[in-house]
A and B are shown apart, each in its own frame.
Chain A
Amino acid sequence: MKITTPLTDNVITGLKAGDRVEITGVLYTARDVAHKRLVQMIKEGEKLPFDLRGQIIYFVGPTPAKPGMPIGSAGPTTSGRMDPYSPYLIEQGLKGMIGKGGRSKEVVDAMAEHKCIYFAAVGGVAALLSKKIKKAEVIAFEDLGTEAVRRLEVEDFPAIVINDIYGGDLYKEGVARYSSPPSSRIL
Chain B
Amino acid sequence: MRRIHYNDIADKISDICIEANYSLSGDVIAAYEKALEMEKSPLGQEVLRQIMENSQIAGKEGMPLCQDTGLAVFFVELGQDVSIAGGLLSDAINEGVRQGYSKGYLRKSVVEEPIFGRRNTTDNTPAIIHTEIVPGDKIKVTLDVAGGGCENMAALKMFRPADGIEGVRQFVIETVRNAGANPCPPVVVGVGIGGDFEKAAILAKRALLRPVGQPHPKMEVAAVEEDLLKRINQLGIGPVGLGGNITALAVHIEIHPCHIASLPVAVNLGCHSSRHKSMVV
Q: Please, how many angstroms separate the alpha-carbon atoms of A179 and B58 in the complex?
A: 32
Which residues of chain B come closer than 8 Å to A73, judged between CB atoms? Answer: 58, 63-67
Any B CB within 8 A of the CB of A55:
no
Given A123-B240, A126-B54, A175-B238: A62 in contact with B184 (beta carbons within 8 A): no
Asked whether B273 is an interface residue with its Cβ less than 8 Å from the other chain, the reply is yes
Contact (Cβ within 8 A) A124 B63: no
Task: Tell me if A160 counts as interface (CB < 8 A to partner B).
Answer: yes
Question: How long is the Cα–Cα vector from A52 to B239 in the complex, in angstroms?
Answer: 32
Q: Flag if A171 contacts B180 (CB, 8 Å).
A: yes
Max chain A CB contacts within 10 Å: which of B149, B181, B182, B271? B181
| Interface 9-mer from A3-11, A41-49, A74-82, A85-93 | A74-82
Q: Which of B58-106 contact A (CB under 8 A)?
A: 58, 61, 63-69, 105-106
List of A residues within 8 angstroms of B108 by Cβ: 145-146
Cβ B237 vs Cβ A64 within 8 A:
no
Known contacts being A66-B105, A100-B182, A122-B51, is A60 close to B67, with CB within 8 Å?
Answer: yes
Contact between A131 and B118, CB atoms less than 8 A apart: no
- For the residues of B in contact with A, the DSSP-based class is loop
Closest to B48 in A: A122
Cα A45 to Cα B181 in complex, Å, equals: 35
In the complex, whether A24 has a CB less than 8 A from a CB of chain B is no
Residues of chain A within 8 A (CB-CB) of B61 are 127
Determine how close the nearest CB of chain B comes to the CB of A11; give it in whole angstroms. Answer: 22
Q: Does A84 contact B (CB under 8 A)?
A: no
Q: Which of B66, B67, B106 has the most CB of A within 10 A?
A: B67
Q: Which of B41, B107, B180, B234 contacts A62 (CB 8 A)?
A: B107
Which of B66, B242, B245 sits near A126, CB closer than 8 Å?
B66
Q: CA A123 – CA B40 in complex, angstroms? A: 20
> Given the complex of chains A and B, what is the CA–CA distance between A33 and B120 in angstroms?
11
Complex CA–CA separation, A179 to B236 (angstroms):
4
A64, A102, A127: the one within 8 Å of B107 (CB): A64
Asked if residues A102 and B181 are in contact (CB atoms below 8 Å), the reply is yes
Answer yes or no: B215 CB below 8 A from chain A CBs.
no
Contacts of B237 in A (CB 8 A): 175, 178-179
A61 touches B63 (CB 8 A): no
Q: Which of A125, A126, A145, A185 gathers most chain B CB within 10 Å?
A: A125
Q: Which of A61, A147, A173 has the most B CB atoms < 10 Å from its CB?
A: A61
Residues of B within 8 A of A102 (CB): 180-182
Q: Which residue of A lies closest to B179 (CB)?
A: A101
A173: chain B residues within 8 A (beta carbon) = 243
B65 surroundings in chain A (CB, below 8 A) = 73, 124, 126-127
The yes or no answer to A1 lying at the interface (CB within 8 A) is: no
In the complex, how many angstroms separate the beta carbon of A178 from the nearest chain B beta carbon?
4
- Closest residue of chain A to B40, judged by CB? A178
Question: With A63-B69, A127-B63, A186-B227 given, is the CB distance from A78 to B148 under 8 Å?
Answer: yes
Q: In the complex, how many angstroms separate the beta carbon of A15 from the nearest chain B beta carbon?
A: 16
A127 close to B243 (CB less than 8 A): no
| Contact residue among B69, B120, B181, B240 (Cβ-Cβ distance under 8 Å from A145) | B120
Q: Which of A33, A61, A176, A186 contacts B67 (CB 8 A)?
A: A61
Contacts of B231 in A (CB 8 A): 185-186
- Which residue numbers of B lie inside 8 Å of A, CB to CB? 40-41, 43-44, 47, 50-51, 53-54, 57-58, 61, 63-69, 105-109, 118, 120, 122, 148-149, 152, 180-182, 184, 227, 230-231, 234-238, 240-245, 271-273
| A-B contact list, 9 entries, CB within 8 Å | A61-B109, A64-B105, A124-B54, A126-B54, A146-B107, A175-B180, A175-B243, A176-B236, A186-B231
Identify 4 new A-B residue pairs, CB closer than 8 A, beyond the known A120-B240, A174-B243.
A177-B41, A177-B236, A177-B243, A180-B234
